[in-house]
């Protein structure tokens, strides 16, 4: 049973993986300037987790995990305080931290579901990846299939069962990654009519029936490349804004979304990418407000 969304905490991740976002403009300033955190029509707070000090010999997955732990604490604090947790900024590598925060707040036995909007599955492991890019592994990390130290430092103690994951769009998959997705039974849903995948409504309804709460994650590259021209991993032949926001609303309509993330949006005010990020966050918050959320501790 859903409860009204009465307050919001925006968790701003000012890092790209574990590196401060100092080399290029980030959309977070534009979000604040345009007041989009108020789109849900509820009071809101803004927190910005800081990267903890890392050991001198820490590798990149460990550093990302340390940042994930700080994100987890912010998400958990929001949920335990009775607020919805909106994660913005950064990229997909912060997702184990969001999952960890939900585990802290709702308990290790909570049945958490993940709905993953992305042009990519991010389900690679070191054995399947063509490039070794850590940015292509966060969902596999959440599922306990890669880099356990990254997941554990992100406070996601319990790996996410693959039957609690729904991927949306993921139109560009590495061959071995696609095989792994099929082998683990993770459904790939169509973002809109005319795109490949199973029916989104049925996939999300089935997931919601088996979960206490849902983490809805949106990488802006799920949009067509023309809407995110500055994105490092943009992909052609993707959906437009209306299709994606309608799909987001279908997930919010379950009333079980406890955390909502919109990541990988770069650029300055006036850039197309920032306008797209604003549209995703604003429409998602408006939908979240209409459909409600769950309280910490379960449905």
Tell me: the pLDDT tens digits for 34-87? 999 999 999 999 999 999 999 999 999 999 999 999 999 999 999 999 999 999
pLDDT of residue 298: 42
pLDDT of residue 170: 98
Tokens of 61: 């997955």
Please say whether the structural domain 8-291 has been given the CATH code 3.30.2270.10. Answer: no
- pLDDT band, residue 25 (cuts 50/70/90): low
The answer for residues whose C-beta is within 8 angstroms of residue 209's C-beta and 6 or more apart is none
Residue whose tokens read 């103690």: 157
pLDDT of residue 80: 97
Q: Within its chain, how far is the Cα of 217 from the centroid?
A: 3
pLDDT of residue 23: 58
Alpha-carbon distances of 18 from 6, 180, 260, rounded to whole Å:
32, 27, 21
Confidence (pTM): 0.97
pLDDT of residue 22: 66
Strand partners, 169: 118
pLDDT of residue 113: 98
pLDDT of residue 2: 83
């Amino acid at each position: 049973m859903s409860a009204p969304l009465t307050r919001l905490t925006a968790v701003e991740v000012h890092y790209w993986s574990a590196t401060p976002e100092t080399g290029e403009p980030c959309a977070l300033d534009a979000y604040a300037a345009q007041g989009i955190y108020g789109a849900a029509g509820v009071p809101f707070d803004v927190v910005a987790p800081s990267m903890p000090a890392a050991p001198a010999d820490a590798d990149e997955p460990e550093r990302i995990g340390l940042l994930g732990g700080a994100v987890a604490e912010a998400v958990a604090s929001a949920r335990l305080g009775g607020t919805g947790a909106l994660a913005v900024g950064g990229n997909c590598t912060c997702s184990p931290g969001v999952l960890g925060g939900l585990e802290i707040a709702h308990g290790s036995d909570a049945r958490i579901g993940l709905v993953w909007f992305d042009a990519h599955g991010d389900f690679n492991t070191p054995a399947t990846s063509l490039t070794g890019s850590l940015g292509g592994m966060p969902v596999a990390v959440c599922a306990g299939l890669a880099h356990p130290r990254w997941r554990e430092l992100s406070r996601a103690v319990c790996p996410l069962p693959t039957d609690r994951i729904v991927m949306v769009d993921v139109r560009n998959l590495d061959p071995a990654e696609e095989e792994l997705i099929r082998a683990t039974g993770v459904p790939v849903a169509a973002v809109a009519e005319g795109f490949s995948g199973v029916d989104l409504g049925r996939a999300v309804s089935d997931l919601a029936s088996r979960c206490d709460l849902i983490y809805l994650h949106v990488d802006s590259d799920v949009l067509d490349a023309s809407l995110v021209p500055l994105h490092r991993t943009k992909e052609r032949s993707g959906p437009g804004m209306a299709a994606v926001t309608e799909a987001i609303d279908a997930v919010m309509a379950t009333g079980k979304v406890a955390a909502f993330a919109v990541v990988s949006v770069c650029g300055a005010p006036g850039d197309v990418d920032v306008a797209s990020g604003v549209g995703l966050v604003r429409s998602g918050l408006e939908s979240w407000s209409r459909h409600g959320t769950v309280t910490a501790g379960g449905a």
